Structure formats: structure tokens, C-alpha cells
Amino acid sequence: MAKKRPTKTSKASAPQISDGEIPVVGAREPCPCGSGRRYKACHGREAAHAVTELVRRPFEGLAGECDWVALRELVPAATVELTLRGGLPEGVPSVTLATVLPMAWPGLRRDTGAVLLGLQNDTASGDISRDLADTLQRALAAEPGSPVDGERPAADGPRLQDLLDPGAPFEPVVHTGFEFWLENAEDVTGEVAASLERANAAAIPTVRLTGVDAAYWCETPEKNHLRWVMPHPEEQLLDALARLHAAGTSSLGEGTRLIGSFRAHGLLVPVWDLPVGVTADEVEKPAAEFAERLAEALASDAPLNADERRARSGFTNRQITLS
């Protein structure tokens, strides 16, 4: 006698679950919605798309968006004390954002309970803010003395904008090296000391200007540079830079030159070449004066003239995108 085939469950008799209640399961497991398809071919498809879709300005809405971009892309060694909405959990004395952590860890819970969050890491999704928020939440719950690995965040997981206090200041502290990795760096010896020395030797000397926002001087063997992350809409900013360049007022003093810009996380970053002898202190006043000229150029809505259009074309032809 032929075996009796099992009766298929109809869609009408399958348990009905709303989209908001469907849990995340393994990609090859049956979708909890009861469709009979694998999760990756059903509701998992939407979830995967949501976590891989690129967010053009992941730090938008955070205090210090321009500095977030700079610390992600430009600055070797820096830290910022972060303030959480609702305060710190019990047993966590502080939360610190760091450009880089030892072993490129995404996060770290010190023996003291303090949490460090690494910014310059590969991310699992297209939304850096969601990746960092996921790492931060897991670091807050980790055992003291534990590093935190990177994981793909849930598609509906919180972002940094949900976890950080929007009214708290964002004040980067730029370091000459990575001693902030260790609570007692002066006492380390052996391989740990050697590793720290190698990391410090590879760091490009960098200084954040104090007179303008999100402008970073750096020193290289050939020449120095100023890289300035600006919050203005890109098209408006390019027009303003073109006006200044065509008028001969885009430099920061003798021997300096605005050489172009690059795009990072949805913001434009103009770059100046500086002579090797020009220090960060010496560029403070010229940068503040340039900021005043830029404000005037940004306020103009007059059409660009021929020289200004050529200058703008030159900027856009040399522009690159880092993210």
C-alpha cells in the first residue's frame, strides 16, 4: 500500500504573525511567518536589505557630525567622552569613543567596567551608526575585561542617535599616540611596549584647530595639510569655494593652496597644502579669516561667472569619495 502523504498546511491554517512580531532566525530555517519558505527568501530578504542599504550620512543628527567624520577618516589617535541618554548603567563609569582600539577590536569593556568604542573599523552593514550602536550595547553588557567583536546588527536595531544624549557636547581630544589604550601605559614593558611603540610611530602627527570647527592640521614628510570637514550642502559649498578661488582668496596665506576636496559620509572635506614649516598654531588665524570669507561666499546666490565656473569644474574633477 502506498504511503499516505502528509497533508500540507494551507496558508489559511498557518499561524498568522504580523510583520512586527516575526523573529530573526537562521537564513535556511523556515520563516516564522508560516509561509513555508526559508527565512532568507521571505522576511529575511527585507531584513538583509535594510541592514545593507547604504546610509549616506550616518552621523547626521549627532552633536559634532563633522568631527565624527574626521575621527572616522582623518585622525589617527583621538578619544571623546560620550554621554548616554538616561545616564550610564550601573557598573559602567564611562563610555569613550576611540578612533582605534588594540587589535582593531570594535569595542572593549575594561576591568574597571569602563567601555571603549572603536570608530575606525569595518562595518557589517551599510549604516555605520547602527553598527556602532549595536557594538556599544553589547559592550555595556559585556563582562569586565572583555573585548567585543563586530556583528551584523538587527535591521530594526537602535542607532547612535537613539543611544547618545543629543544635547551633550562632542569634544574630541587628539593624542600624539595610543597610550590611551592602556590605563597605566607608563608601566608597560616587553611586547606590549614594543607594540605600542610601533603603533605610535605609524601615526601621522595631527592637531585639531581651536578657532574653527572640525579642521585638522597634519604633518607629513613632504608637506603639511589642513583638512576641514564642513557641514554645508555640497553644491552650495562648491559654488562658494569656486567664488573664493577665482577671486584669489581661497588660500590660507603665503605658500598655501586649496588643492581640492573629497567627500566622506555625505560631507565635503576641502584640503589645503601647507609648507612644511607651517604649524597648526600658525594656521589658526588664517583659517578663522577664511571662515569669514566663506560665510560671505555662501550667502551669495549670484550666478557663477566664467572664471568661477572653471574653478568649480576643477574642484569637481579632482573630487573623490571615501564612503
Q: Are strands 257-264 and 320-321 parallel, antiparallel or unpaired?
A: parallel
- pLDDT (0 to 100) of residue 3: 42
| Residue 174 to residue 232: CA distance in whole angstroms | 24
Q: What letters, b where the CB count within 10 A reaches 16 and e where it falls short, cover 136-161?
A: bbbbbebeeebbbebebbebebebbb
pTM of the model: 0.83
> Does the domain formed by 206-321 have CATH 3.30.1460?
yes
Q: What is the DSSP letter of 164?
A: B
Residues of the chain with CATH 3.30.1460: 206-321
Q: What angle (nearest 5°) sits at the alpha carbon of residue 215, between those of residues 212 and 217?
A: 125
From first to last of its 323 residues, the chain has per-residue pLDDT tens of 444 444 444 444 444 455 545 666 555 678 888 788 876 677 666 555 545 678 999 999 999 999 999 999 999 999 999 999 999 999 999 999 999 998 889 999 999 999 999 999 988 899 999 999 999 999 999 999 999 998 989 989 999 999 999 999 999 999 999 999 887 766 667 776 787 888 898 899 999 999 999 999 999 888 999 999 999 999 999 999 999 999 999 999 999 999 999 999 999 999 999 999 899 999 999 999 999 999 999 999 999 999 999 999 998 888 777 76
